Structure 1
Amino acid sequence: MKTIETLFNSVARQYDKQREKLIPCFHDFYKIAVENLNPLTSSPEILDLGAGTGLLSEFILQKYPNAKITLVDLSEKMLEIAKNRFKTHPSIHIICQDFTTYTVTKPYDAVVSSLAIHHLEDTDKIKLYNSIFSYLKNQGVFINAEQVSGEDEYFSKFYDTRWRYQIENSGLTPDEINASYERIKLDKRSPILAQVTWLKNAGFKHVDCLYKYYDFAVLYAKK
Structure 2
Amino acid sequence: MNKDSNEVKMKFDAIAAQYDQQRRMLIPGFDDFYGIPAAYASARSSTPRILDLGAGTGLFSAYLMDRYPYADLTLADLSSSMLDAARIRFSHLTQVSYIAADYCAYDFDGKFDLIISSLSIHHLEDEAKRAIYAKAYSLLEEGGIFINADQVLGATPAIHRYYEQTWRAGVLAEGLSQANLELALERMKLDKYATVEAQLGWLAEAGFADVDCLYKKYHFAVLTGRKAGASPAIGE
TM-score (norm 1): 0.97
The one-letter amino acid of 1:87's match is S
**What is aligned with 1:200?**
204
Matched, 1:170 2:177: no
Moved over 2 A (4+): none
Give unpaired runs (5+ residues) of structure 2.
Answer: 228-236
**What is aligned with 1:183?**
187
CA distance in 1, matches of 2:221, 2:28: 12
**What is aligned with 1:103?**
107
The one-letter amino acid of 1:51's match is A
- Higher relative contact order (Cα pairs below 8 Å, separated by 6+ residues): 2
Shift of residue 102, structure 1, vs aligned partner: 1.5
Secondary structure in structure 1 of the residue aligned to 2:225: strand
Matched, 1:140 2:140: no
CA distance in 2, matches of 1:142, 1:32: 14
CA distance in 2, matches of 1:169, 1:102: 40
Shift of residue 170, structure 1, vs aligned partner: 1.7
**What is aligned with 1:54?**
58
Matched, 1:112 2:116: yes
Note the aligned Cα RMSD (angstroms).
Answer: 1.1
The one-letter amino acid of 2:99's match is I
Identity of aligned residues (%): 43
Length, aligned pairs only? 223
Matched, 1:12 2:16: yes
**What is aligned with 1:219?**
223
More off after superposition, 170-179 vs 46-55 = 170-179
CA deviation vs aligned residue, 1:155-181 (integer Å, no higher than 9, x gap): 111111111111122211222111111
CA distance in 1, matches of 2:160, 2:9: 25
CA deviation vs aligned residue, 1:150-203 (integer Å, no higher than 9, x gap): 112111111111111111222112221111111111110100010010000101
From 40, 43, 65, the equivalent of 2:44 is 40
Give unpaired runs (5+ residues) of structure 1.
Answer: none
Secondary structure in structure 1 of the residue aligned to 2:192: coil
